[in-house]
Chain A
Amino acid sequence: MASTKKQVSKFTWKEFKKQKVLMIWAAVFVVYGLIFCYIPLFGWLMAFQDYKPRTGIFGSEFVGMEKFTQLFSDNTFLEVIRNTLAMGVINLVLTFVTAIAFAILLNEIRLTIGKKMVQTISYLPHFLSWIVVTGILHDVLASSGIVNELLMNFGIVDKSVNFFAHPEYFWWIVGISNVWKETGWNAIIYLAAITAIDPSLYEAAAIDGAGRWAKIKNIIIPGIMPTIMILLLINVGNVLNAGFEVQYLLGNGLVQSVSQTIDIYVLKWGISQNDYAIGTAAGIFKSLVSIVLIVVANQLAKRAGGERLF
């Protein structure tokens, strides 16, 4: 008994030594994960307390689910959930479709230099911070900005439109600015997937008389389908991360009922109003919904027999 045990341990030790470098790196990330992802979960206790910074987590009184009840009886929070979901879905659909379409179109360009140039220029906006992008948006959409100039010159409108004063435009402004900023960047991964497709397939299709459209439909799209599915799954889990900076910076009093996201709500109540408990409760809710979304999406993918995460 003792000898087997010794043997097992000796075997592990040897194995461990062999993979020493890998183990050290793995350990670094395990520790990183523990410190930054798991230890902070301890703070979730605040959501069940009448938390006061003076008394801290150990001294504050437990109030059960009271903060959650308060949260869900607040109309603003329900509005905020709606906004987050709406903007999350709009962002997801728009950026997804445009990135795939863009990658396929770019792939069809024969002139290498033109292709490289378009690709480089199109992913540059990704490196701009949102504060810069919102500045640009404010200028472009201002009453004397380029968009209004164009609309007026083409006679589509006769008076300049104040885009930020209309709640019904806000989600789309956010969605389109996301497209502008991220399409080029997101297309890179699809372009890489397209490059990985076996060239002999194209040749075979050409011999069968397939044109460009037929090649896209029958070779490229099925070829990048696994990539699409995996990215879709990851992004579905991210739907509730619909953004913070862009809504925070673009919003104003007139559109606040459609512009605020869960993250802004957490900041406003948790930090500005000093009600850490309600901020934490909102954060927990967001995490739970994200987990549910990702599990559901994964199950659907499993049913459809496609790629999945777990």
Chain B
Amino acid sequence: MKMKKLATLLLAAAMLTTGFAGCKNSDSGSKDTEGGIKEFTAFYAVPGTEINDDNEIQAKIAEITGATCKETWLTGQTASEAIGTMIAGGEYPDFIDGSDGTAALYDAGALVALDEYLESGDYPNLTKFWSEAEWDKVRQDDGHIYWIPQFGNPYEKSMATDPAEAFWIQTRVLKWADYPKIETVDEYFKLLEDYNKANPTMEDGTENIPFTILCDDWRYFCLENPPQFLDGYPNDGSVIVDPDTKKIIDYNTTDTAKRYFQKLNEEYHKGIVDPESFTQSYDEYIAKLSTGRVLGMVDQKWQFQQVYDTIKQQGLSEEGCNFVPLGIRIDKDTPNQWQSEDAINVANGVGISVSCKDVEGALKFLNDLLSPEVRILRGWGIEGVDYEVGEDGVFTRTDEQWANVSNASYKASHMCPYSYMPNYTGVLEDGINASDPNQQPTEFYKSLPADVQECLSAYDCETYSEMCGPINPVPGPWFPMYSFSNTMTTSTPGGTAWTKMGEVKHEQLPKVVMSSDFEKGWSEYMAAYNECKPEDFLKEMQEELDRRIEEAAKHE
């Protein structure tokens, strides 16, 4: 009996130790390879494409910086799930961008405080990447900096060519109506109705879908957030901030919101709104747009960027199936604030995890990635291979080079943008060339599909951005407020209310749109909405707004 027990125990102990040893071995951390090149690991909780291990530009950057980084991306999970799983396991890659899970990483003590390193002066490129006032905004309640926001930072001047969110419409619809000026929701839907009546099908006989709405999981902002823009406010994301009174306004309950959803309800019953809107997945939505059947939708361009490629491959550009943006509002005299200048998003950034064994090395790597020559490699590639330099110093790409960089396998084996590491937008250090080749003015227009070129010139515009409307200055130091609501968790009453509001909106807004009696549907929605105690959420948003204004005053 004793022997049996002993044997079991021994075996158990043996298995346990091997188990633990296994954990140790899989510990992440930088390793030195033969050539003295450091290898880091990174995880970004956003969808992305991995590059090959023997990537050519990655090797070139490693020659300069002495380090490489193996990047992995989100697949099949939401950001919070992926980060939550990592926290539960307690092991992290060297670099991490938690996206929606960033606050959770901080709460779990998974990130290394970076402020002392940044203040040491050893990483000048990184330190000057943001101004002191901006760095202060990234400080957490314990006064330390844990992540480096990597986006929304133009070098010298903005070169943006694309709006983020807009009402999009196919060029064939505008062309059919002889390029009219479309400014309001009513005009937009009237045009869709008229066009669809005159041309119910595509050239090959496929029926048009006049308007569809992306509503899958967190992407349902395409359904719920237009009221803030329609009302003439910029993308604070979760609330409207009145710039005069400095008060928080809930955009879900405004008259504009009610009018907009009533409009959608009417259009739904007219058969203009796609009945599958609320049940389709993101993949189905992209597939639908790729067929060229969909005449219009609200979306952010990066979500359907790939549709331009598939439309091109199918030869649908000639039919006019590419999308252009319209900055429409609820009424003609409402200001157009669909686009704002770049602002720091303090809620997200790339951080260094406690599993990283060489924090100095990791920061040096980030610092070196911002050096002029590496910025060119990240954006443009190798001179003579991926771009040519003219006598005046202007970079250009030949058609063949453009074709190369839009080829997925070439991108994986050759290009290495390190796209979620800190980088400037705008121009390169030479002040002439755009940081991103797609924004190079001479190159941009050339790369547009023919139908978009025709449409843009009909409106006397050169970029999508111009067609959408003006790029407004940042309204105040609080902008954007979503960088606060994104970090809310259910540990506060406001965060709990925010989560519940999201759930109610996600379920009730589709019902409101489909309801046969709009008024009844709307009042049911409002009743369910008010049960979530939105006032708790709004109160915490107001406190944060006041805090941000106060903080900003210190730097003046």
- Chain A residues engaging chain B, CB cutoff 8 angstroms: 9, 12-13, 16, 23, 27-28, 30-31, 34-35, 52-54, 76, 138, 142-143, 162, 164-165, 252-254, 256-257, 267, 269-276
Contacts and interface: CB of A to CB of B under 8 A. Distances in A.
Contact of B4 (A23, A35, A252): A23
Contacts of B12: 31, 34-35
A76 B507 CA distance: 13
Nearest 8 CB-CB pairs, A to B? A271-B84, A272-B80, A253-B506, A53-B108, A164-B279, A54-B109, A274-B104, A254-B510
Interface residues of B, number: 44
A138 B281 contact: yes
10 contacts: A12-B4, A16-B3, A35-B12, A52-B108, A53-B107, A76-B503, A143-B276, A253-B509, A253-B510, A271-B88
A158 B80 CA distance: 43
Nearest to B491: A275
A267 B12 CA distance: 31
Nearest to B12: A31
A27 B7 CA distance: 8
A252 B216 contact: yes
A129 to B, nearest CB: 12
B78 interface: yes
B215 A165 contact: no
B489 A274 contact: yes
Given A53-B109, A270-B84, A273-B490, 10 more contacts: A23-B7, A35-B12, A35-B15, A35-B19, A53-B87, A53-B108, A143-B275, A252-B279, A253-B506, A274-B80
Contacts of B1: 9, 12
A101 to B, nearest CB: 32
Contacts of B110: 53
A9 B3 CA distance: 9
B107 A12 contact: no
Contacts of A28: 11
Contacts of B514: 165
A53 B489 CA distance: 14
Contacts of B242: none
A142 B276 CA distance: 8
B16 interface: yes
A268 B208 CA distance: 37
Given A54-B107, A143-B275, A276 B88 contact: yes
A138 B279 CA distance: 9
A187 B278 CA distance: 37
B8 A31 contact: yes
A12, A252, A257 interface centre (most CB from chain B within 10 Å): A252
Interface of B: 1-4, 7-8, 11-12, 15-16, 19, 78, 80-81, 84-85, 87-88, 90, 104, 107-110, 215-216, 220, 275-276, 278-279, 281, 284, 489-491, 499, 503, 506-507, 509-511, 514
B527 to A, nearest CB: 14
B2 A27 contact: no
Nearest to B13: A31
Contacts of B499: 273
Contact of B215 (A252, A272, A273, A274): A252
A254 B11 CA distance: 52
Contacts of B104: 274
Contact of B511 (A164, A254, A274): A254
Contacts of B85: 271
Contact of A13 (B3, B19, B88): B3
B371 to A, nearest CB: 36
A16 B87 CA distance: 44
B84 A254 contact: no
Contacts of A275: 490-491
Nearest to B2: A9
Given A9-B2, A34-B12, A256 B276 contact: no
Contacts of A53: 87-88, 90, 107-110
B16 A274 contact: no
B490 A31 contact: no
B279 A52 contact: no
A53 B1 CA distance: 41
A157 B11 CA distance: 65
Given A53-B109, A143-B275, A16 B81 contact: no
Contacts of B491: 275
Contacts of A274: 80, 84, 87, 104, 107-108, 489-490
A165 B11 contact: no
B509 to A, nearest CB: 8
Given A23-B4, A52-B107, A254 B16 contact: no
A35 B216 CA distance: 39
B281 A267 contact: no
B84 A35 contact: no
A254 B7 contact: no
B407 to A, nearest CB: 28
A219 B113 CA distance: 75
Q: Which of B1, B80, B110, B279 has the most CB of A within 10 A?
A: B279
B15 A254 contact: no
A142 B1 CA distance: 64
A236 to B, nearest CB: 31
B279 A54 contact: no
Contacts of A271: 80-81, 84-85, 88
A23 B10 CA distance: 13
B200 to A, nearest CB: 16
A9 B514 CA distance: 78
Nearest to A274: B104
A165 B503 CA distance: 16
Contact of A273 (B489, B506, B510): B489
